[in-house]
Structure 1
Amino acid sequence: MTSVTGGRRETAALVLPSAGPDPIPLATALAAVLGYARGRRPLFFRSPGQPQGRWVQVLAFAHDRFDGQPPETGDRPTDRDVLVAEGLHGRLDPAAWRRVRSTLDDVWPLVGSVVERSAGRAFWELPDDEFSVLTEPGTVGAALRGLADRHVRAALHSRYPALVPLTDGVTWRQLYGHLREGDSGPEAAVHRELTANAGAFTTLETATATLLGHPLTRLRLHDVLLWLAGSLRMTHAVALGRALAAESDQGLEALLPA
């Protein structure tokens, strides 16, 4: 969607009810993604060589530990799948690590059914019926309900970034209020927002790939924006992104259509 104000074209914003009542201008969304991917924070660090400690700048968010890792390949889950998921959601204790690894083996047939049912289509290209209880069993939405653990979801999203959505406690709570009668799960709300904002997400995908040097799917971009909003980190990520853009003398608006 594009509107015209005073003879000047304005790129439409993302309308994501799950992230809040106000539309998110694309330049703001792009700044938030840049802040999430490249923003840093101070950390006081001690080491045997410097027991007095010193301040260092570390990445503020999990982009490099998760999105920056090459996906695991092969037709069976591996230990590395769990390691990649830990990059997003944090380290697991030994018992939890074994549980997640075992769960990946257990749900692997469900993963196969999702891939087969999608028939090469991305999540946002699937019809609405795939996320309705009225067309179950056998739908993508029904299969995704069986993938509830957040580390399992993260591992599978890394393998299938255009097909398996990410959800955790923060984003699930944001999505819950927007479920409709007959929805198979929170994925239905994600699907509605992606399809309703198809043009804006296409623009954001292209601009993000140019800015970061590698693509993020709109499924991941939606998750990042939703998580930042729900965890009250959106303002901070946007400020980080704008500061980074200013330091590199790269205008974010220049990456968006005029």
Structure 2
Amino acid sequence: MIDAPLLLPSTGPDAWAFDTALAAVLGYARGRRPMRFRSPDSPRGRWVQVPAFGWARFDARPVGPPGDLDVLVGELLHGRLDRAGWVDVHDALVRVRPLVEAAVARADGRALWELPDDELSVLGEPGTVGAALRGIGRAAGEHPGHVLAALHHRHPDLVPHLTRSTRRALLPHVEEGDSGVEAVVRRELQANAEVLGELESTVASLLGDARPTRLRLHDILLWLATTLRMTHAVQLGQMSELSADR
């Protein structure tokens, strides 16, 4: 196992030990929480253990054909939409499709962290991947988290999944000339390439039900940090490792 720390400025000034980052991801994937459940055969209710986070619903879900299921994928991570919200996300996914296709064509098989500097800089525009990603963010409608979740699920190595909290955490790290916060994500992926590569392979081998890219792992760690869930996820991950050892 690698000894190098993981330094993601968007999550804070302190580096993460590899074991801590791994425990956080394992906690996100394996963690459970109690929920009171009532049913016709148990009208007084009983306690059940349900997934604490979205791994089983989102990360472990296979990619299906494009269409209405993409809206469902967004709901599985961010919660149910009312009718107006469903229509908004559906229309946004249709609206951004040309931008997504342009980004995929421009990337030409390369992952976000493999792209050259100009692709995430305004100096390289127009027609760059960064310009397309910025356009997607602007056209994502009233439920951008749902839209970007669906797009990331379909393009897990290219389209970052951003929420309001993670976008706010990335904004202070935007540098002059960046095409958007996606440039910050790319820099952090490149700066931690060795550690994140090891985290990718370790998570995939330990869990077995999904192979999240380093782009998704970055998203998970940033979201846990920005929503103050990191400590809880690490504890859940450490407990799950102990249970596995036994």
Q: CA deviation at 1:185?
A: 0.8
Q: Contact 1:72–1:158 at 8 Å: present in 2 too?
A: no
Whole-Å Cα distance in 2 between the matches of residues 10 and 102 of structure 1?
Answer: 44
Tell me which of 64, 82, 92 is aligned to 1:93. Answer: 82
- In the alignment, is residue 29 of structure 1 matched against residue 21 of structure 2? yes
RMSD over aligned CA atoms reads: 1.3
In the alignment, which residue of structure 2 is the partner of 1:157?
Answer: 152
Uncovered stretches (5+) of structure 1, i.e. residues with no partner: 1-8, 251-258
TM-score normalised to the size of structure 1? 0.90
Q: Contact 2:2–2:18 at 8 Å: present in 1 too?
A: no
Q: Contact 2:204–2:211 at 8 Å: present in 1 too?
A: yes
Whole-Å Cα distance in 1 between the matches of residues 111 and 121 of structure 2?
Answer: 17
3-state SS of the aligned residue for 1:54? strand
Q: How many residues align?
A: 239
Task: Say if 1:10 and 1:142 are closer, same or farther in 2 by CA, change over 3 A.
Answer: closer
- In the alignment, is residue 83 of structure 1 matched against residue 68 of structure 2? no
Q: Which one-letter code corresponds to 2:164 in the other structure? A: G
Q: What do residues 173-231 of structure 1 show as CA deviations (whole Å, max 9, x unaligned)? A: 11011111111111010000000011111110111111111311000000000000000
In the alignment, which residue of structure 1 is the partner of 2:47?
Answer: 55
Whole-Å Cα distance in 1 between the matches of residues 54 and 171 of structure 2?
Answer: 24
Whole-Å Cα distance in 2 between the matches of residues 69 and 209 of structure 1?
Answer: 14
TM-score normalised to the size of structure 2? 0.94
Tell me which of 197, 217, 241 is aligned to 1:221. Answer: 217
Whole-Å Cα distance in 1 between the matches of residues 165 and 239 of structure 2?
Answer: 26
Q: What do residues 123-179 of structure 1 show as CA deviations (whole Å, max 9, x unaligned)? A: 110011111112111111111112222211111111110111010011011101111
For residues 220-239 of structure 1, what are the structure 2 equivalents within 5 Å?
A: 220-239=216-235
Whole-Å Cα distance in 1 between the matches of residues 101 and 244 of structure 2?
Answer: 44
Uncovered stretches (5+) of structure 2, i.e. residues with no partner: 138-143
The higher radius of gyration belongs to: 1
Q: Which one-letter code corresponds to 2:83 in the other structure? A: P
Higher helix residue share: 2
Write out the 4+ residue segments of structure 1 that deviate beyond 6 Å after TM superposition: none
Identity %: 60
Whole-Å Cα distance in 1 between the matches of residues 219 and 101 of structure 2?
Answer: 23
Q: Contact 1:117–1:140 at 8 Å: present in 2 too?
A: yes
Q: Which one-letter code corresponds to 1:222 in the other structure? A: H
Q: What do residues 27-85 of structure 1 show as CA deviations (whole Å, max 9, x unaligned)? A: 11110000000100011111122111111111000011111111123xxx400010011
Q: What do residues 76-135 of structure 1 show as CA deviations (whole Å, max 9, x unaligned)? A: x40001001111111111111011111111111111100100000011100111111121
- In the alignment, is residue 241 of structure 1 matched against residue 228 of structure 2? no
Whole-Å Cα distance in 2 between the matches of residues 26 and 220 of structure 1?
Answer: 16
3-state SS of the aligned residue for 2:35? strand
